[in-house]
């Protein structure tokens, strides 16, 4: 199964909810990047370990994450 994850860094406010609910623990807050609103957005550190559960996308209050499975 191929997984595609898209994170809209400009809409992410770096709240960390996606990080806290990710079962494989592959979501992190990117401290080296700041979006236009001044937030550090989330990012995926190892997409190959993503199980495509969708927990991050469901939990995101800003709908900044989408998951697609093929």
Give 53's Cβ-side CA count (13 Å radius): 14
Q: Tell me the pLDDT tens digit for each residue of 2-42.
A: 889 999 999 999 999 999 999 999 999 999 999 999 999 99
> Domain range holding 59?
3-69
Domain count, the chain: 1
| Confidence band for 70, pLDDT divided at 50, 70 and 90 | confident
Beta strands in 14-64 (DSSP E): 27-29, 42-44
The pTM score is 0.90
Question: What's the CATH number where 46 sits?
Answer: 3.30.70.20
The pLDDT value recorded for residue 60 is 98
Residues 6+ apart with CB under 8 A from 44: 5, 7, 26, 27, 50
The pLDDT value recorded for residue 1 is 76
Question: CA-to-CA distance for 50 and 62, rounded, in angstroms?
Answer: 21
């Amino acid at each position: 199964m191929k997984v595609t994850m898209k994170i809209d860094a400009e809409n992410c406010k770096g709240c960390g909810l996606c990080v806290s609910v990710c079962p494989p623990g592959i979501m992190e807050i990117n401290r080296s990047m700041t979006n236009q609103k001044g937030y550090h957005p989330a990012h995926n550190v190892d997409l190959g370990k993503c199980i495509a559960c969708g927990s991050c996308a469901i939990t995101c209050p800003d709908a900044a994450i989408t998951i697609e499975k093929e």
